[in-house]
């Protein structure tokens, strides 16, 4: 059913996997995520960015999130499967007001991203959101450290890795339920420069775990940038150059640790774009959106199921 992230993370911590947090902006993405997670019997966090909420319209989106839970229930019955836990989460909330608005419209979890503020300001803002959210049993994710690359309108040139010396104090002072950290992942499809070794700092993760044992850690920017999707895009007229993601093996290692939530958005964008480009190029007479969005949805679903099974370890853990 519809839940916050508390119990999900407890189970993930105990059983050594990570809950997938997949972003969506439209109906086809939402259907692909929910049907994939139901069929692989994985818990799932449906993730909405500020931009997604504006794109889809905040009112429509709140009903889409709830509709997704109803759809899951009906499909579970039809297929003789068990229901899965689903959370609706605000990704990268940038203000107290936005978090409150999402909580009022029925989100079960929010992120307040104060990572670009000073440490003291981040603590104060995060604490304020936690105090409000917990009154409604909504869970809160905070962030320490800065990911390189673009996050909504904010962009950073370099990673500022999370300082393990700060995490215990931050978690204690704010009361957050989970903590996003910066260990070399980044948003988008260009995570490493060509020639650079694609490697995240699992050593820093280990040190953070040592400081806050048993506390749920979140990894943002964790797309792997599937090269077959990049090649298909480029074969059919796209121009993606030097697109590099996080190697799946490193995400698997992270999922076995205290990392309880792994955020993936770009991989879905790539797979969807690849399929649509392929159909536009190979079936130029098609003009019914169902004829390209439908196959794109199928390709997305397949990718999410593979992620759950092979990367996050969340399949069968619902």
Dihedral over Cα of 187, 68, 25, 113: its sign? negative
Asked if 242 and 195 touch (Cβ cutoff 8 Å), the reply is no
Query: Is residue 223 involved in binding ligand 13P (CB under 6 A)?
Result: yes
Asked if 217 and 205 touch (Cβ cutoff 8 Å), the reply is yes
- Decide which of ligand 13P, Zn ion, Na ion, none touches 264; Cβ closer than 5 to 8 Å per partner kind: ligand 13P
Pick the catalytic residue from 91, 94, 265, 267. Answer: 91
Among the listed ranges 47-55, 120-128, 162-170, 197-205, the one in contact with ligand G3H (CB under 6 A) is: 47-55
**Site size for Zn ion (CB under 5 A):** 1
Active site (annotated) includes residue 91: yes
User: Using the rule CB under 6 A, which residue among 143, 265, 267, 278 binds ligand G3H?
Assistant: 265
Which 90-109 positions form the footprint of ligand 13P (CB under 6 A)?
Answer: 91-92
Query: Is residue 89 involved in binding ligand G3H (CB under 6 A)?
Result: no
Rounded to the nearest 5 degrees, what angle is found at the Cα of 148, between the Cα atoms of 5 and 168? Answer: 50
Known binder of ligand: residue 187?
Answer: yes
- Decide which of Na ion, ligand G3H, ligand 13P, none touches 222; Cβ closer than 5 to 8 Å per partner kind: ligand 13P
Asked if 117 and 33 touch (Cβ cutoff 8 Å), the reply is no
Q: Which is nearer to ligand 13P, 76 or 160 (CB)?
A: 160
Q: Interface mask (CB under 6 A) for ligand G3H, residues 7-46, using x and -?
A: ----------------x-----------------------
Please, what is the minimum distance in Å from the beta carbon of residue 31 to ligand G3H? Answer: 18
Please, what is the minimum distance in Å from the beta carbon of residue 225 to ligand 13P? Answer: 8
Query: Is residue 143 involved in binding ligand G3H (CB under 6 A)?
Result: no
Task: Spell out the residues 6+ positions from residue 99 whose beta carbon is closer than 8 angstroms to its own.
Answer: 90, 93, 110, 112, 129, 132, 133, 140
Residues in the chain, how many? 318
Q: Interface mask (CB under 6 A) for ligand 13P, residues 235-274, using x and -?
A: ----------------------------xxxxx-------
Q: Which is nearer to ligand G3H, 50 or 317 (CB)?
A: 50
Known binder of ligand: residue 159?
Answer: no
Residues tagged in the binding site annotation for Zn(2+): 92, 113, 143, 187, 220
Binding interface with ligand 13P (CB under 6 A): 23, 91-92, 187-188, 220-223, 263-267
Binding interface with ligand G3H (CB under 6 A): 23, 49, 51-52, 91-92, 151-152, 187, 265
The catalytic site residues sit at 91
């Amino acid at each position: 059913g519809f839940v916050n992230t508390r119990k999900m993370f407890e189970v993930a911590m105990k059983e050594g996997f990570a809950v997938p947090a997949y972003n969506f902006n439209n109906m086809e993405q939402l259907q692909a995520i929910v049907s994939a997670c139901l069929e692989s019997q994985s818990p799932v966090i449906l993730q909405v960015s500020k931009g997604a909420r504006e794109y889809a319209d905040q009112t429509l989106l709140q009903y889409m999130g709830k509709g997704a839970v109803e759809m899951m229930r009906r499909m579970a019955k039809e297929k003789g499967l068990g229901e899965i836990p689903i959370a609706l989460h605000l990704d990268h909330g940038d203000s107290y007001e936005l978090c409150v608005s999402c909580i009022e419209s029925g989100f079960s979890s929010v992120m307040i991203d104060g990572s670009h503020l000073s440490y003291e300001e981040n603590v104060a803002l995060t604490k304020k959101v936690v105090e409000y959210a917990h009154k409604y049993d909504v869970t809160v994710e905070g962030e320490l450290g800065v990911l390189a690359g673009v996050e909504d309108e904010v962009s950073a040139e370099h990673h500022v890795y999370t300082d393990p010396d700060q995490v215990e104090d931050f978690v204690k002072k704010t009361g957050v339920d989970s903590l996003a950290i910066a260990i070399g992942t980044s948003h988008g499809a260009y995570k490493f420069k060509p020639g650079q070794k694609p490697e995240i700092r699992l050593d820093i993760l280990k040190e953070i775990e040592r400081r806050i044992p048993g506390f749920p850690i979140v990894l943002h920017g964790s797309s792997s940038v599937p090269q077959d999707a990049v090649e298909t895009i480029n074969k059919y007229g796209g121009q993606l150059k030097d697109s590099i993601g996080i190697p799946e093996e490193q995400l698997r290692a992270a999922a076995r640790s205290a990392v309880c939530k792994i955020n993936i958005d770009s991989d879905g964008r790539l797979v969807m774009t690849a399929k649509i480009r392929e159909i536009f190029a190979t079936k130029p007479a098609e003009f019914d959106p169902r004829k390209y969005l439908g196959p794109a949805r199928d390709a997305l679903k397949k990718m999410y199921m593979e992620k759950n099974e092979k990367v996050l370890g969340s399949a069968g853990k619902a």
